[in-house]
Chains A and B, each alone.
Chain A
Amino acid sequence: MEITVCIKQVPGTSEVEVDEKTGVLKRDGIDSKMNPYDLYAIETAVQLKEAHGAHITAISMGPPQAAEVIKEAFMMGVDEGALLTDRKFAGSDVLATSYTLAQGVKKTGNPDLVICGKMTTDGDTAQVGPEMAEFLGIPHIANVLRILEVGEKSIIVEMDMPSTIEVAEIAFPCLITVEKGIFQPRLPSFKLKMATKDKKITFYSLQDFDDTDEKNYGLNGSPTQVKRIFPPEGNLDHEIWGGSNAELSEQLFGKLKELKFV
């Protein structure tokens, strides 16, 4: 089976400052890391590889330093890596990003299965996976909780819908986005780090794609107009209760039950 995993480099902390004038995240000098949700995507791919045999390609889009997350993917058991990097991709919104990644996936071959994390921690839209599937013309299932069965021509998965959990069978080639917790992501291996130290990462730019029309990429290909970016306000909602120990524990239990914590 050919599997492609889409991964992204994101800021290493949630305390990223926003430039008040331009509304752009100040990424300079800030540590970066692999999008935590993508770790579950990689783990899913590697688990499938270990159980059924597969060849895994990781693909990312970003500046040249985003190659770091591909190296990390190698340390988790990914076989090949490709980075889509071009100044003309800068400023992509969800649509342009999905389109670029779809072009990249085509470039790296025709995988049976594309796996994405549910969402990224810096964009938070959870739309890139499904939009990519549309551009690739393949079926997709988002929010996959468990993989129940892997067949010759299809895969059976459990998906998390707002009020139900549904089981669905989906034919290859297809795309899934996986939930946090589908598997516990393994830690990067030092042995694999050494073994893949000199492994080549393929770089693709706009010129390498089937569609080289600049209008479809970066800011040009992004219909989204960002009015303002600002850090969300902290939620300071709180309640203060009084009463005896017995009353308070009763009240606390009621609240926890109401919030479905117990």
Chain B
Amino acid sequence: MEYKRINQNDVKFLVSLCGSERVYVGESEINEDFSHDELGGIHQYPEVMIEIMSTEEVSSIMKYAYEQNIPVTPRGQGTGLVGAAVAMYGGIMLNFCKMNQILELDEENLTLTVEPGVLLMEISKYVEEHDLFYPPDPGEKSATIAGNINTNAGGMRAVKYGVTRDYVRGLEVVLPNGEIMEIGGKVVKNSSGYSLKDLIVGSEGTLAIVTKAILRLLPLPKKAISLLVPFPSLEMAIETVPKIIKSKVIPTAIEYMVRDVILASEEFLGMTFPDSSADAYLLLTFDGNSTEEIELAYDRVAHICLEAGALDVLISNTQERQDSIWKARGAFLEAIKATTTEMDECDVVVPRNRIAEFVKFADELQERCNVRIKGFGHAGDGNLHIYVLRDEMEADAWKAKLEEVFELMYAKSRELGGKVSGEHGIGYAKKPYLKESKGGAGMELLKNIKLAFDPKSLLNPGKVC
């Protein structure tokens, strides 16, 4: 792809549009943070970075970029893990962090309308103050809503509530030619042609730019109780998951964790986890409107766990107890990071009854490939977060090792009927694996969809397909 390099005239135009305060030009003015995202070793500066304040600005910039053939990369907090928000071809980066107002809470339609830069933690705090609930709950709470919509990351509550896609009712987007378009809306049902909204959710900034989102809310469940279930082995723990799903009692979350990771997290936080005597644990959460209702639900699951060989079922029913568990759970990623020099992640998703097989496979790879591999994840929805750790490896050896291990893991995932990414997306880093998984016809279809939205390939080029 050939694009125009940005020159003085382009900068002059952008400054005339947004003012010099919000336009940053070149590596001398653009903070290093904007040349990469959270993981993945991919570095590239945009030529210009602009702090966006309105939809009209986006529209005018896109119109100009379309005429001038300049690539444009939208970006939120840069918390992605696959390089999706890195401007691989330079050009203009649109930074949405300051376009961050909550616009409307519609309690009659149970919707919340927000600008793209609002953070996930701000949304949950705001709606919960009104006794309402926005269920998607990715671990990274400082991500922006538009970034989250663009990866469709679902988080821990997906078992019961589904993923981000299920909570986006409508979008305002700017198309690559600058046209502003409303898609979907406050309606609950919609069978009006192809669902453009669903194409854009999870499109990683390659089809259109999200400038406003209408989110669906639920009444806030009044209570939540967690069960921490110790098992003698990881295998036994994971094998219990399909049995829980089969029981038709639906927890909000089913997470698995191993002793190593818990101990790393204890050391990292300087706090003690309520139990670390067992090799592996399941962490289940139930929500509802009364303690009695929740106790009824978890009673059955507790018995299933004990029958499956659990050592006990520990009950976390107060804020202090929840904190003692979930603070540690929230620090797992950082704790693992602190034990090594660099790491990369495999975020595959497999059918829920195959998860034990995959986890065991990944565990065995440690010995087979002679590398440390640590994991934890959303056992209830089949989405795993498995980290390959570099430790003291040389750069070349690390690159080769990573390729070897990833190749094996993605092949295994395909064999089990799984997909490349459960929630982090494809971005730049996972493109080769998507190709292997989708096949020629599938990729052709994706490319044609991309062309239908963006015939000049200006939006976030080099990503997804």
Contact = CB atoms under 8 A, between A and B. Distances in A.
Interface string B301-329: 01000100000111111101100100000
B315 A193 contact: yes
A39 interface: yes
Interface in A8-36: 12, 31, 33-34, 36
Contacts of B324: 184
Contacts of B227: 190
A193 B295 CA distance: 12
A122 to B, nearest CB: 14
A94 to B, nearest CB: 24
A262 interface: no
A190 B313 contact: yes
Interface in B215-232: 227-228
Nearest to A183: B272
Contacts of A193: 315
Interface string A188-201: 11110100000000
Nearest to A187: B314
A127 to B, nearest CB: 23
A186 interface: yes
Contact of B314 (A31, A184, A190): A190
B316 A187 contact: yes
A188 B274 contact: no
Contacts of A102: none
A185 interface: yes
A75 interface: yes
Interface in B270-308: 272-275, 291, 302, 306
Nearest to A184: B272
A26 to B, nearest CB: 18
Nearest to A75: B315
Nearest to B274: A187
Contacts of B320: 36, 39
A189 B274 contact: no
Contacts of A185: 274
Interface in A211-243: none
Contact of B315 (A31, A33, A39, A187): A187
Nearest to A192: B312
Interface residues of A, number: 16
Contacts of B273: 184
Contacts of B316: 187
B275 A187 contact: yes
A125 B316 CA distance: 27
A232 to B, nearest CB: 19
Contacts of A36: 318, 320
B321 A187 contact: yes
A190 B312 contact: yes
Given A36-B320, A39-B320, A188 B306 contact: no
Interface string A160-189: 000000000000000000000000111111
A189 B314 contact: yes
Nearest to A34: B318
B274 A190 contact: no
A187 B228 contact: yes
B393 to A, nearest CB: 34
A186 B320 CA distance: 12
A188 B315 contact: yes
B306 A191 contact: yes
B313 A189 contact: yes
A186 B274 CA distance: 5
A186 B316 CA distance: 10
Given A184-B324, A190-B312, A33 B318 contact: yes
B275 to A, nearest CB: 7
A184 B313 contact: no
Interface in B253-282: 272-275
Contacts of B321: 187
Nearest to A189: B312
Interface string A33-47: 110100100000000
18 contacts: A33-B318, A36-B318, A184-B272, A184-B273, A186-B314, A187-B228, A187-B275, A187-B315, A187-B316, A188-B314, A188-B315, A189-B315, A190-B302, A190-B306, A190-B313, A190-B314, A191-B306, A191-B313
Given A189-B314, A190-B314, 10 more contacts: A12-B318, A33-B318, A184-B273, A184-B274, A185-B274, A187-B314, A187-B315, A187-B321, A190-B302, A190-B312
- Closest 7 A/B residue pairs (Cβ): A190-B313, A187-B314, A184-B272, A188-B315, A190-B302, A33-B318, A187-B274
